[in-house]
Amino acid sequence: MAAEAGAGEPAAVLERVRHAFPPVAALDDVSLSIAGGEILCLVGPSGCGKTTLLRLLAGLEHIQAGRIILGGRPVADRAAGIDVPPDERGVGLVFQDYALFPHLTVLQNVAFGLEALDAKARRERALAALDQVGMAEKAEVYPHMLSGGQQQRVALARALAPQPRLLLLDEPFAGLDARLRDQVRDDTYHILKNSHTTCVVVTHDSEEAMFMADRIAVMNAGRLEQVGAPVEIYGKPISAFVARFFSDVNRLAGVVETGSVRTPFGRIPAGRAADGQAVEILIRPEALKIAPLGTRMASWGVPAPSGGTRARVIATRMLGRSSLIHLDVANGAGTEMHMHSRMPGQVLPPEGELVSVDLDFGQTFVFPVSDPK
């Protein structure tokens, strides 16, 4: 956010961009500004239009409506008849499948975009880019001899070598297996930050977005649902869709009465929903804090009693850094509701135990049911 306020002119701006692959509308009136030097993550379910947005920025799709400005210069403007081809935009793109040229060596791949330089300078710059990603020793090797992680780094070096004013990454880690992915992601993050390049990263993985992003733009069905810093997106989701996209949630239904809505955990403020409106209440699992009944320290390691709601433990699972507790919560109307609580560390109450549940209002969200999603 600081970057956006301080950087003066944004690196890239999309104004009212629409795009359709008839009969499907891929982008519906999208406006977005990307600040210089920031890493913006575009997230959303598959088919939400995020890759189309990326291809429009690169110039690989022709603009259908709206305007795209890079570094203060319009590169695509339907109304003005401007559509700068990709080779003149100075935008780098890392493809999901890396798209390394199989008939060229690693060094030739990286030098591919450096045609403007003479042979010596081209080689030096390409080697420097390879060095930056730690692949200088593989310069003379052909791409098919590299592992997936190495190919990804070469693709990154190739895109960075011409020093693009905007670097686009399309699901850059999707081709890697889970164990390798965390390491490559961390390396990539530091390479990108050190290069001070403005980046747009497309991903469908919310955790990856929070790991990489200075800001996150959440897309849904061709529209930008919410744009903001990860903390903001996670803590103040603007819609049920955004809240659900970033974690599992417990869902309750209710009706607003005098500005609040009743839950098994007491009344909670209804926000912008009007009285009489049907709402859904989304509760993150970590908002449900369980504690033993009574005053003593429970054998499963959680102190402090409280006047919370009663619930019965159905099952407990240790997930590593946290524990997942399946609960039956009495809802006051004589029936019970199944909910999940996520507690940090090892909190493993025995099955059948009655526990007390407290709700953290900060991670509980109320949205009118009329919300399309």
Assign 3-state DSSP to the chain and report helix, strand, coil percentages, each to 5. Answer: 25, 35, 40
Nearer to another protein, 159 or 218 (CB): 159
CB of 108 vs another protein, minimal distance in Å: 10
Residue 3 Cβ vs another protein, minimum distance, rounded to whole Å: 24
CB 200 within 8 A of CB 40: yes
Q: CA 122, CA 114: separation in Å to the nearest integer?
A: 6
Give the residue, chosen from 86, 149, 235, 305, that forms a contact with another protein under the rule CB under 8 A: 86
Q: Please, what is the Cα angle at 299 between 294 and 305, to 5 degrees?
A: 25
Using CB under 8 A as the binding rule, whether residue 158 contacts another protein is answered as yes
Q: Are 342 and 322 in contact (CB under 8 A)?
A: yes
How deeply is 352 buried, as exposed, middle or buried, from its count of CB atoms within 10 A (0-12, 13-18, 19+)? exposed
Instruction: Please pick, from the candidates 2, 24, 45, 97, the single residue that binds another protein as defined by CB under 8 A.
Output: 97
> Does 6 contact another protein by CB under 8 A?
no
Segment lying near another protein (by CB under 8 A), choices 28-36, 78-86, 327-335, 349-357? 78-86
DSSP class of residue 360 equals -
Minimum Å gap between C-beta 45 and another protein is: 22
Q: Determine, following the binding rule CB under 8 A, whether residue 96 of this chain makes contact with another protein.
A: yes
Nearest to 317 by CA among 288, 346, 337, 289: 346
Nearer to another protein, 154 or 216 (CB): 154
CB 174 to another protein: min, Å: 13
Look up residue 282 and give its two tokens. Answer: 């989304």
Q: Which is nearer to another protein, 168 or 329 (CB)?
A: 168
C-beta of residue 140 within 8 angstroms of C-beta of residue 107: yes
Query: 């407990």: which residue's tokens?
Result: 316
CB of 150 to another protein, least distance (A): 15
Tell me the backbone φ, ψ of residue 223, rounded to 5 degrees. -120, 155
Q: Check: CB of residue 199 under 8 Å from CB of residue 37.
A: no
Least Cβ distance, residue 85 to another protein (angstroms): 6
Told to check if 99 binds another protein by CB under 8 A, we report: yes
Which one, of 25, 43, 28, 22, lies nearest residue 227 by Cα?
Answer: 43
Residue 87 makes contact with another protein by CB under 8 A: yes
Comparison of 82 and 255: residue with beta carbon closer to another protein: 82
Binder to another protein among 72, 85, 332, 344 (CB under 8 A)? 85
| Measured distance CA(188)–CA(39) in Å, rounded | 12
Q: Which of 8, 23, 80, 116 binds another protein (CB under 8 A)?
A: 116
| Angstrom distance (rounded) from CA 355 to CA 338 | 14
Closest CA to 33 of 48, 56, 14, 20: 14
**Residue 70: both structure tokens together:** 């890079």
For another protein, the closer CB: 92 or 254: 92
Give the span between the Cα atoms of 45 and 331, in whole angstroms.
33
State the nearest-atom distance from the C-beta of 81 to another protein, in Å.
Answer: 7
**Residue 59, interface with another protein (CB under 8 A)?**
yes
Piece in contact with another protein (CB under 8 A), picked from 56-64, 173-181, 221-229, 350-358: 56-64
Cis bond leading into 23, ω under 30°? yes
Candidates 16, 31, 45, 101: give the one binding another protein (CB under 8 A).
101
* Residues 36-55, interacting with another protein (CB under 8 A): 55
We find the least distance from the C-beta atom of residue 123 to another protein, in angstroms, to be 16
Q: Which lies closer to another protein via its Cβ, residue 158 or residue 284?
A: 158
> Using CA atoms, how far apart are residues 30 and 273, in angstroms rounded to an integer?
26
334 is a site residue for another protein (CB under 8 A)? no
Which region, judged by CB under 8 A, interacts with another protein, from 65-73, 97-105, 295-303, 313-321?
97-105
Binding site for another protein (CB under 8 A): 55, 58-60, 62, 81, 83, 85-89, 91-93, 95-97, 99-103, 112-113, 115-116, 144, 158-159, 162, 164
